[in-house]
Chains A and B, each alone.
Chain A
């Protein structure tokens, strides 16, 4: 089956594009689907670090595009998840090293070999973003519950629509239910009211993400992480399953919190 191409993008930097790419890719691979994650952030590559594959890079995306190696040579297989592959970005070049049509050609070649192609878009709305969405079938916009990130997401959704790659789908990342409850953070409802697109994921703030990023181990590999669960659910929804959204409220009152503390403490 030819692959579906998903591009993860946001406009604003630092909202979790790379984390989402790594985790959705890993979660799909956990379901025995053959997945390649493609880092389109040329010049500022990160995805290899988050996936813990940095030390295995020999060739990169630009090498493939410029014909210095065959596509297969640039594919890095994740040993923990044998169905997960990475094509890293080049670090010494910039966005102009690749054109949108290069990306389309590359993905057409990959489509035959894989079930899913997940593209990590750079921040911004310039060349790198155009490269990232050129070959895509599904655009996933990720945002944080804060006004500036939502504003940029809105702009990106508009651009995606005008490129006829829409409708975009939405992930809201780093939600802190306690702050939402106090009215100090935008609620998922506030964000959806403005953006008016299909929601495919609510990811709670989770310190485990920082740890997992530093260790190069996607958080979906941690069965107890709530963010990991949220990303696994997103993968299920991309696969077409109906999965209810996580209850972000942290457990049923005092007893629930205590129980969780004990569970976490026991690790």
Chain B
């Protein structure tokens, strides 16, 4: 899976115990330096206290670098943050142990886009019959990824190297050249349609198909599962 384009890169040149707070689409991203966890934690809380009311109510993602953290460390930090009116929703880490800890506490371990899906919907899994859709009114370029438990509608192109993973149907008002997965939660009735359907790879439920080589004028097509195989048909108005 490609990282979201706005994912900040881990910064290897951080000074010890230097804390950076950045604004990102999903709220605030806090980059912690290296050092003793208790000191870092203290420094972070002090810095947040200095910012005072300004940050109150913010959604916070924490990049802890290489630090190996146990449930008690993260749990107490989360409490400390919530006392200050801050909501910790994600912990990014280079350590698998810390990632596991974070997941145990119900925290995200990557910056997905709440714009496309609320965390609750993900947690509840299968979304059969859900009629919710997300509208993406721009071209998805290589490296972009949209994941949504409901339907996905794109007005624009989906370029090679971009991907759409939807629980429901995928509709592309444009050229579909990237990877698309409809019915990703197992819905075999999901369909993919596009004005120009030439994905790198098309998946519906657990079936995978490649686009055949095609010449001539593009035409709108709908792909669906028929007898367990992906079939694409021209769309006739």
Q: How far is the CB of B197 from chain A (nearest CB, A)?
A: 16
Q: How far is the CB of B51 from chain A (nearest CB, A)?
A: 20
Q: In this assembly, does A159 line the interface, its C-beta being within 8 Å of a C-beta of chain B?
A: yes
Which secondary structure characterizes the binding site on chain A? helix
Asked if residues A158 and B9 are in contact (CB atoms below 8 Å), the reply is no
Q: In this assembly, does B227 line the interface, its C-beta being within 8 Å of a C-beta of chain A?
A: no
Give the docked Cα–Cα distance between A161 and B175 (Å): 20
Q: In this assembly, does A220 line the interface, its C-beta being within 8 Å of a C-beta of chain B?
A: no
Q: In this assembly, does B157 line the interface, its C-beta being within 8 Å of a C-beta of chain A?
A: yes
Asked if residues A162 and B6 are in contact (CB atoms below 8 Å), the reply is yes
Residue of B141, B157, B175 with highest tally of chain A CB at under 10 A:
B141
Asked if residues B139 and A196 are in contact (CB atoms below 8 Å), the reply is yes
B161 contact from A99, A126, A155, Cβ within 8 A: A155
Which of chain A's residues have a CB closer than 8 A to the CB of B13?
A: 96, 99
Give the docked Cα–Cα distance between A194 and B12 (Å): 35
Q: In this assembly, does B144 line the interface, its C-beta being within 8 Å of a C-beta of chain A?
A: yes
Chain B 122-151 interface 0/1 with A at a Cβ cutoff of 8 Å (1 = within): 000000000000000001011110000000
| B1-55 CB contacts (< 8 Å) to partner A | 5-6, 9, 12-13
Question: Known contacts being A96-B13, A126-B9, A130-B9, is A159 close to B143, with CB within 8 Å?
Answer: yes
Question: Known contacts being A96-B12, A99-B13, A158-B142, is A151 close to B5, with CB within 8 Å?
Answer: no
Which of chain A's residues have a CB closer than 8 A to the CB of B144?
A: 158
Which of chain B's residues have a CB closer than 8 A to the CB of A159?
A: 5, 143
Asked if residues A154 and B9 are in contact (CB atoms below 8 Å), the reply is no
| B157-179 CB contacts (< 8 Å) to partner A | 157, 159-161, 175, 177
Give the docked Cα–Cα distance between A154 and B12 (Å): 27
Give the docked Cα–Cα distance between A232 and B175 (Å): 35
Give the docked Cα–Cα distance between A158 and B141 (Å): 6
Q: How far is the CB of A179 from chain B (nearest CB, A)?
A: 19
Q: In this assembly, does A157 line the interface, its C-beta being within 8 Å of a C-beta of chain B?
A: yes
Asked if residues A151 and B6 are in contact (CB atoms below 8 Å), the reply is no
Which of chain A's residues have a CB closer than 8 A to the CB of B9?
A: 126-127, 130
Q: How far is the CB of B79 from chain A (nearest CB, A)?
A: 34
Q: How far is the CB of B172 from chain A (nearest CB, A)?
A: 15
Give the docked Cα–Cα distance between A197 and B160 (Å): 16
Which of chain B's residues have a CB closer than 8 A to the CB of A158?
A: 5, 141-144
Give the docked Cα–Cα distance between A161 and B177 (Å): 20
Chain A 156-176 interface 0/1 with B at a Cβ cutoff of 8 Å (1 = within): 011101100000000000000
For residue B138, which residue of chain A has the nearest CB? A161
Asked if residues A162 and B161 are in contact (CB atoms below 8 Å), the reply is no
Q: Which residues of A contact B (CB under 8 A)?
A: 96, 99, 126-127, 130, 151-152, 154-155, 157-159, 161-162, 193-194, 196
23 CB < 8 A contacts A-B: A96-B12, A99-B13, A127-B9, A130-B9, A151-B142, A152-B142, A154-B141, A154-B142, A154-B160, A155-B142, A155-B161, A157-B141, A158-B141, A158-B142, A158-B143, A159-B5, A159-B143, A161-B141, A162-B6, A193-B175, A194-B157, A194-B159, A194-B160
